[in-house]
Every structure is written in structure tokens, then in C-alpha cells.
Structure 1
Amino acid sequence: MEIKRQERKHVIENTDGEMLAEITFVPSGSSMVIIDHTYVSDEMRGKGTASKLVASVVDEMRQQGKKIMPLCPFAKAEFERHAEYEDVLHKKD
């Protein structure tokens, strides 16, 4: 399963280029992004696909030195389950 990093989203496609899963995020200022949507097709469900997409965004934002505000319910739950994401979590003042 290859995750392709694109501008403001990470996607997984089948061999025909059809999107099977995606996570989208939008910049908020210069130091933060907001994860606003996660989608996984029926055929990809139950394989940890959405978790891998969240991890992919976490890795990219760590590399860029940015924080993440997970507004998407799934992403928010992932941040609650994974203490190791604490370093990139945007904390409200």
C-alpha cells in the first residue's frame, strides 16, 4: 500500500489511479495544519488504512516542524490513542 503525498492531502490509489483512501489537511498560518477529512473505501476498510494515513501526515508535519489540529473525528481519535503524536499536536491556549 503506497501512500502518495500530494498538496494538502495524502492518497492511496489502485493500479488504475482510482482513489481508494485519502486524508486531507489545510494550512492554518505558517506553523499549523488542520486535518479535516479522512476517507477509506469499503474495500480498504479494516486494514488499518486510515491509521496509516494519519501517521503519514504526522511524519510529514514533524519533518516540516508544524503542529496539527485534528478536527476530523477519526484523526482526533487517533491522536487520543497515540501518545507518540503529542509532539505535533496543536494545544489550545
Structure 2
Amino acid sequence: MYTNVLNEIHFNHKIENFHKTKRSFGRYFEKKTMEIRNIEREDRGNFIAEIENSEAGILEYTWQNDHEFSIDHTEVYDEYKGMSVGKKLVLEAVDYARKNAAKIIPNCPYAKAIFDKTIAFQDVLV
């Protein structure tokens, strides 16, 4: 009898955790549109990610000279973490560098980690 009660409690706990997990991962199953825009001001710029018209994250960069810019900061807002927003911002910076024949200095720890892991981005590194 005691063992059955423990098994039932353990089973119910697993079901509760499953439902909590399913709810917390619900955002991954929804199709959401992300747009990234670039705003440049003289020697600085930002890539801003928006999901369904809400700002989801930002990547800040600074031009060091005519052919090099540094990624200084990447931030993803809490409600959008786990949705690859940061990676997509870095990818946008890489595409921008390629289109403008520029090189990137990844000063931001997050961006540096992405560059260290991604061989395909090595062509735009200083």
C-alpha cells in the first residue's frame, strides 16, 4: 500500500512536470516572424531584432575604420531567450560584413563564442 502511494505521487509529479515543460516550451512550437533591421549613425550602428512588432534583441557595433567594425554588445530580452535571436543577430552582422567587404572584431563575449564555434564565419574575422 505504502509503495503504491509513493508510485502514484511519483507518477503525478512526472505528469505535472511534463505539463510545466510543455507550457514553457510552447513558444518554440508557435510560428513567429522575426525581422532584423540595421540602424547606422556615423561610426556606430545597431541590428535590432523584432518578433511580431516587439523588440526582441539588439546587437551594437562600432566602425573602427573603413573596413573593420567591432561587435560591442549583444542582448536578447528575457521573453525571447532560447529562440536563437542572438545567433540571428550575429549572422546578420556577418552578412552585412560580407556585403560591405568588411571584417569583424568580436569584442562581445557572446559574439566571440559564436565566431569560435562557427567555421563558416572565419572569413570575416580580423
TM-score (norm 1): 0.90
Q: Which moved more, 1:18-27 or 1:62-71?
A: 18-27
The gaps in structure 2 that reach 5 residues or longer are 1-33
Residue pairs, 1:24-43, within 5 angstroms:
24-43=60-79
SS in 2 for 1:62: helix
2:50 maps to what in 1? 13
Report which of the two structures shows the higher radius of gyration computed on alpha carbons.
Answer: 2
C-alpha RMSD of matched pairs (Å): 1.2
1:62 maps to what in 2? 98
Q: Which structure 1 residue ranges, 4+ long, deviate > 4 Å from structure 2?
A: none
SS in 1 for 2:82: coil
Q: C-alpha distance in 2, partners of 1:72/1:79?
A: 11
Higher relative contact order (CA 8 A, sep 6+): 1
SS in 2 for 1:28: strand
TM-score (norm 2): 0.67
Query: Post-superposition shift, 1:12?
Result: 1.6
- Give the structure with the higher percent helix: 2
